[in-house]
Structure 1
């Protein structure tokens, strides 16, 4: 399974990305557990505007969600953190 995380926005407006192919990792089952813990509904719409906030775009297989940085928490934050730490730049 391919997981791609992109971060855009912020003060400088730069975009960065990371990619993981879970089948090539030493622990694909742990990745599947992490993805399985994600909520079935997409994160809610932005409740309020935060100046210079990041926007996180997370693609898991063929599903893509956008999450404002101020609302990135729980299982989504855990997934983003792991992809950033273990993934390749994209």
Structure 2
């Protein structure tokens, strides 16, 4: 296994929202160091409680949320229906979305 670069973030979280009225996808990504609140938020989420069928939207124009996190050597992924996005999940998604808004887009 290759060693991680010294400047690798302690945590990286990607959130993808799909569905809704237009069926479009939106993506947010945030990274943080060992002392980042993102590390604590990732650990608070009930990753093991996610059901495979949980992402099936109930009703028209609902969102589905895909949350992926790399925290050290641990990788986690969850698919959530809109009604499951509460508690620690909501806190994590809101934190990632807020951080993604505060980072300027890369120059091309």
TM category, shorter: 0.7 to 0.9
Q: Would the aligned equivalents of 2:13 and 2:96 in 1 still touch at CA under 8 Å? A: yes
Distance 1:48 1:9 in 2: 9
Residue equivalent to 2:17: 7
- Which is higher, the Rg of structure 1 or of structure 2? 2
Call closer, same or farther: CA 1:51–1:36 in 2, change over 3 Å: same
Q: Would the aligned equivalents of 2:47 and 2:78 in 1 still touch at CA under 8 Å? A: no
- Check if 1:49 corresponds to 2:62: no
Structure 1 unaligned segments of length 5 or more: list them.
none
Q: Would the aligned equivalents of 1:42 and 1:65 in 2 still touch at CA under 8 Å? A: no
Q: Would the aligned equivalents of 1:4 and 1:58 in 2 still touch at CA under 8 Å? A: yes
Distance 1:68 1:48 in 2: 6
From 67, 78, 81, give the equivalent of 1:68: 81
Q: Would the aligned equivalents of 2:47 and 2:76 in 1 still touch at CA under 8 Å? A: no
CA root-mean-square deviation? 2.2
Give the TM-score of the pair, scaled to structure 2: 0.68
The number of aligned residues is 86
Q: Would the aligned equivalents of 1:4 and 1:19 in 2 still touch at CA under 8 Å? A: yes
Structure 2 unaligned segments of length 5 or more: list them.
1-10
Call closer, same or farther: CA 1:69–1:40 in 2, change over 3 Å: closer
Give the TM-score of the pair, scaled to structure 1: 0.80
